[in-house]
């Protein structure tokens, strides 16, 4: 590939990653997937440099017209805006026990994420899925509970600011991306974390 | 054209969208790698306050293209 830049592009609903380069003469156009790059959050307080030009637009170049903007239906989950995400995986064992993840999320005011086995088993709706066939997220804090860390999950969350992983298998791949790891039974660790979080909230 | 990186700014209801700030993040990265200057282009109806905000925060040159018909501009819309 002769291109100076290479990009990763997801195809087939995130099941395959293509490595693509740019050929031909400029200009080039690139669009981004939300959550793939860290947002610019500084304020440089610079002296503003801007110029506005009136331009002529004819109706025939306007391919679409926005009639009305309707907010997303209630219940739709947008994890890309969450500052904290508590996510659970197969390690929780059952839909009933998954309640622990929901409880910790509620205490922390966090969004709820899940790995694919969880949404496949119907413990949570598909909208909560994080990973290559779900959402790509970048919260400040990501707490992975009973998630082993299959690559399909890691690509959706490994850019998070701080990753805390709880898993009983010390060799689980999730620990390779984690900033803090707790090796232990998630069903025993979560109740302790929930109590601690409640204490801090007080 | 090829001497510049242009970030096309997505905004709605007089507020820049989060994806815009992510694109700016990438713009700065590319600027370092490719040694090219970044500018921002906005399309819309009233852009002065947005253009000023973006330029102040980023220290980048902002070019606003203004037309009544672009009031509800979306990237798919033109």
Asked if the structure places residue B75 within a domain, the reply is no
Asked if the structure places residue A51 within a domain, the reply is no
Does pLDDT of A150 surpass 50? yes
Q: What is the pLDDT of residue B73?
A: 73
Q: What is the pLDDT of residue A71?
A: 61
Nearest of B6, B25, B54, B70 to residue A30 by alpha carbon? B6
Asked if the structure places residue B21 within a domain, the reply is yes
Q: What is the pLDDT of residue A97?
A: 96
**ipTM, 2 dp:** 0.86
Across the interface, whether the CB atoms of B64 and A50 are under 8 A apart is answered yes
Asked if the structure places residue B10 within a domain, the reply is yes
Residue A193's domain spans which residues?
79-201
Q: What percent of chain A has pLDDT over 90?
A: 64
pLDDT in tens, A48-85: 999 999 999 888 777 777 777 766 544 557 898 899 99
Residue B2: its chain A contacts at CB < 8 A? 25-27
Asked if the structure places residue A55 within a domain, the reply is no
Query: Which range has the top average pLDDT, A9-13, A77-81, A85-89, A119-123?
Result: A85-89
Asked if the structure places residue B46 within a domain, the reply is yes
Residue with token string 């939300």 = A34
**Candidate from A27, A31, A61 with C-beta closest to B78:** A61
The CATH number linked to A157 is 3.40.50.1220
A53: nearest CA partner in chain B = B65
Asked if the structure places residue B37 within a domain, the reply is yes
Asked if the structure places residue B30 within a domain, the reply is yes
Q: How many domains does chain A fold into?
A: 1
Across the interface, whether the CB atoms of A46 and B67 are under 8 A apart is answered no
Alpha-carbon gap, residue A113 to A123, rounded angstroms: 11
Asked if the structure places residue A19 within a domain, the reply is no
Asked if the structure places residue A12 within a domain, the reply is no
DSSP letter for A129, please: B
Cβ of A64 under 8 Å from any chain B Cβ?
A: yes
Q: What's the pLDDT band for A3 if we cut at 50, 70, 90?
A: low
Q: What is the pLDDT of residue A13?
A: 63
Asked if the structure places residue A116 within a domain, the reply is yes
Asked if the structure places residue B54 within a domain, the reply is yes
Residues lower than pLDDT 50 in chain B: 1, 78
Across the interface, whether the CB atoms of B25 and A55 are under 8 A apart is answered no
Chain mean pLDDT for chain A: 89
Asked if the structure places residue A18 within a domain, the reply is no
Q: What's the pTM value of the predicted model, to 2 decimals?
A: 0.59
A138: nearest CA partner in chain B = B22
Asked if the structure places residue A56 within a domain, the reply is no
Across the interface, whether the CB atoms of A52 and B18 are under 8 A apart is answered no
Token output for B38: 């970044």
Alpha-carbon gap, residue B9 to A50, rounded angstroms: 14
Residue B16's domain spans which residues?
4-68
Q: How many domains does chain B fold into?
A: 1
Cβ of A94 under 8 Å from any chain B Cβ?
A: no
Helix (H) or strand (E) holding B4: strand B4-8
Does pLDDT of A42 surpass 90? yes
Asked if the structure places residue B27 within a domain, the reply is yes
């Amino acid at each position: 590939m002769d291109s100076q830049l290479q990009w990763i592009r997801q195809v087939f609903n995130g099941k395959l990653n293509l490595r693509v380069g740019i050929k031909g003469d400029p200009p080039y156009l690139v669009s981004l997937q939300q959550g793939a790059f860290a947002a610019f959050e500084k304020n440089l307080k610079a002296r503003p440099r801007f110029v506005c030009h009136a331009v002529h637009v004819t109706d025939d170049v306007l391919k679409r017209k926005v009639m009305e903007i309707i907010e997303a239906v209630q219940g739709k989950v947008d994890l890309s805006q969450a500052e904290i995400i508590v996510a659970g995986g197969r390690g929780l064992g059952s839909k009933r026990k998954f309640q622990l993840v929901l409880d910790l999320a509620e205490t922390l005011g966090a969004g709820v994420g899940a790995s694919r086995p969880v949404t496949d088993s119907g413990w949570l709706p598909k909208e909560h899925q994080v990973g290559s066939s779900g959402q790509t997220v970048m919260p400040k804090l990501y707490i992975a509970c009973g998630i082993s860390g299959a690559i399909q999950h890691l690509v959706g969350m490994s850019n998070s600011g701080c990753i805390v992983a709880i898993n009983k298998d010390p060799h689980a791949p999730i620990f390779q991306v984690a900033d803090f790891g707790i090796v232990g039974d998630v069903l025993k660790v979560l109740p302790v974390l929930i109590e601690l979080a409640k204490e801090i909230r007080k | 054209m090829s001497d510049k990186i242009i970030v096309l700014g997505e905004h709605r209801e007089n507020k820049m969208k989060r994806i815009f700030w992510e694109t700016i993040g990438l713009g700065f990265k590319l600027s370092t790698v490719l040694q090219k200057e970044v500018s921002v282009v906005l399309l819309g109806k009233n852009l002065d306050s947005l253009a000023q905000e973006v330029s102040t925060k980023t220290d980048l040159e902002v070019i606003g293209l203004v037309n009544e018909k672009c009031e509800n501009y979306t990237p798919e819309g033109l």
